[in-house]
Amino acid sequence: MPRLSNENSLMEPSREKASTFQEHLNSALIEVRKHGLWRALRNVESAQGREITLNGKKILNFSSNDYLGLAAEPEIQDAAIQAIQTFGAGSGASRLISGSLAPHRQLESALADFKGCDAALTFSSGYVAAQAAICSLMGKADIVILDKLVHASIVDAAKLSGAAIRVYAHNGLNDLEAKLKWAAAKTQQPGTASQPRVLVVSESIFSMEGDAAPLPEIVDLKDKFGAWLMVDEAHATGLYGPHRRGLVDHFGLAGRVEVQMGTLGKALGSAGGYICGSRALIDFLINRARPFIFSTAPVPAASGAATAALRFIQSKHGAVRVKKLWENVRHFEQAIGRPEKAVPSVIIPIVLGESAAALNASQVLLEQNIFIPAVRFPSVPRGQARLRATISAAHASQDVDLLVAALKKVLPATK
Ligand SMILES: *Cc1c(COP(=O)(O)O)cnc(C)c1O
* pLDDT, tens digit (0-9, with 9 covering 90-100), for 314-365: 999 999 999 999 999 999 999 998 888 889 999 999 999 999 999 999 999 9
Top mutation candidate among 266, 299, 388 for ligand 1, by most atoms within 8 Å of CB: 266
Top mutation candidate among 202, 207, 208, 347 for ligand 1, by most atoms within 8 Å of CB: 207
String of DSSP letters for 356-395: HHHHHHHHHHHHTTEE--EE-TTTS-TT-EEEEEE--TTS
Q: What pLDDT, on the 0 to 100 scale, is given for residue 188? A: 76
Mean pLDDT in residue range 194-209: 94
Q: From residue 230, give the alpha-carbon distance in Å to each of 136, 145, 281, 296.
A: 13, 10, 12, 25
The span from the CA of 121 to the CA of 365, in Å, is 41
Residue 413 has a CB neighbour count (10 Å cut-off) of: 5
What is the residue with the minimal CA distance to atom 14 of ligand 1? Answer: 234
* pLDDT of 16 higher than 90: no
Mean pLDDT in residue range 265-270: 98
pTM of this prediction exceeds 0.85: yes
**Strand runs (DSSP E) across 84-206, as ranges?**
119-123, 143-147, 164-168, 198-203
What are the residue numbers of the active site?
A: 207, 235, 266
Q: What pLDDT, on the 0 to 100 scale, is given for residue 411? A: 74
Q: Which of 150-154, 338-342, 378-382 has the highest mean pLDDT?
A: 150-154
The DSSP element (H or E) to which 57 belongs, if any, is strand 57-61
Mean pLDDT in residue range 57-61: 96
Q: Rounded to the nearest whole angstrom, what is the distance from the C-alpha of residue 67 to the centroid of ligand 1? A: 14
Measured from CB, residues less than 6 Å from any atom of ligand 1 are 125-127, 151, 153, 203, 207, 232, 234-235, 263, 265, 273
Q: What pLDDT, on the 0 to 100 scale, is given for residue 7? A: 47
The alpha carbon of residue 210 and the mean position of all alpha carbons in its chain are separated, in whole angstroms, by 12
Mean pLDDT in residue range 255-283: 98
The span from the CA of 203 to the CA of 132, in Å, is 17
Give me the phi and psi of 393, to 5 degrees please.
-65, -20
Q: Which amino acid is at 174?
A: N
Share of the chain above pLDDT 90, in %: 87
Q: Which long-range contacts (CB under 8 A, 24 or more apart) does 251-256 make?
A: 251/215, 251/216, 253/215, 253/216, 253/219, 254/115, 254/116, 254/117, 256/219, 256/223, 256/229
**Are the C-beta atoms of 353 and 385 separated by less than 8 Å?**
yes
Q: Rounded to the nearest whole angstrom, what is the distance from the C-alpha of residue 242 to the centroid of ligand 1? A: 23
Q: Rounded to the nearest whole angstrom, what is the distance from the C-alpha of residue 330 to the centroid of ligand 1? A: 25
Top mutation candidate among 151, 274, 303 for ligand 1, by most atoms within 8 Å of CB: 151
* pLDDT of 301 higher than 80: yes
Q: Rounded to the nearest whole angstrom, what is the distance from the C-alpha of residue 229 to the centroid of ligand 1? A: 18
